[in-house]
Amino acid sequence: MNRKQAIAKLKTIVGPKLGYHEPRNALDAEGRAEQREIARSLRVEECALRTALDERRAELLSDPVYVDLRTRLNAKKAEADKAQARSHRKPIQVGKQGEVFFHILADGDTWAEIVEKMTKEAKP
């Protein structure tokens, strides 16, 4: 069965919304088997490194200076992340309500600013 015949058959099974993708860098069966063997050997090395890392982490977590620094760092990072997020939020957001998400099309400080943004985007 060639590609065209397979697509026609699948279209009768799936319907008119059939979609497909043929990745250019996909491997054949032999290449995939070879990559699985490479991955297995790399996973053994990864496991050994993970064990060493976990042992070192246990040492660090028993050090009170490290624990204090880590706690303070996490608190400051959380504060900075919150301030950064708030700095991007504008008081008015206009968009479309999808089935699950609200898709923002424009946001701004005033309604006039939003109308101007939407007008610019609407023009080709």
CA 83 to chain centre: 22
Rounded to whole angstroms, the Cα distance separating 107 from 115 reads 10
Range(s) of the domain holding residue 59: 27-89
Predicted local confidence at residue 108, as pLDDT: 93
Classify residue 13: in a domain, yes or no: no
Mean pLDDT calculated for residue range 27-32: 95
Which 3 state secondary structure label does DSSP give 108? strand
Assess whether 44 and 85 both reside in one domain. yes
Classify residue 16: in a domain, yes or no: no
CA triplet 46, 50, 56: central angle to 5 degrees?
145
Give 56-75 pLDDT, tens digit per residue.
999 999 999 999 999 999 99
Rounded to whole angstroms, the Cα distance separating 13 from 63 reads 62
Structure letter (DSSP) for residue 96: E
Give 62-114 pLDDT, tens digit per residue.
999 999 999 999 999 999 999 999 999 999 999 998 889 899 999 999 999 99
Assess whether 36 and 78 both reside in one domain. yes
Classify residue 119: in a domain, yes or no: yes
Assess whether 65 and 83 both reside in one domain. yes
Q: How many domains does the chain have?
A: 2
Check residues 44 and 15 and name the one with the higher pLDDT. 44
Rounded to whole angstroms, the Cα distance separating 78 from 97 reads 30
Whether 92 contacts 110, CB under 8 Å: yes
Assess whether 107 and 53 both reside in one domain. no
Classify residue 43: in a domain, yes or no: yes
Assess whether 64 and 99 both reside in one domain. no
Predicted local confidence at residue 27, as pLDDT: 94
Give 10-25 pLDDT, tens digit per residue.
999 998 889 989 899 9
Assess whether 82 and 114 both reside in one domain. no
Classify residue 62: in a domain, yes or no: yes
Q: Is the pLDDT of residue 29 over 90?
A: yes
Confidence band of 34 (pLDDT split at 50, 70, 90): very high
Assess whether 95 and 80 both reside in one domain. no
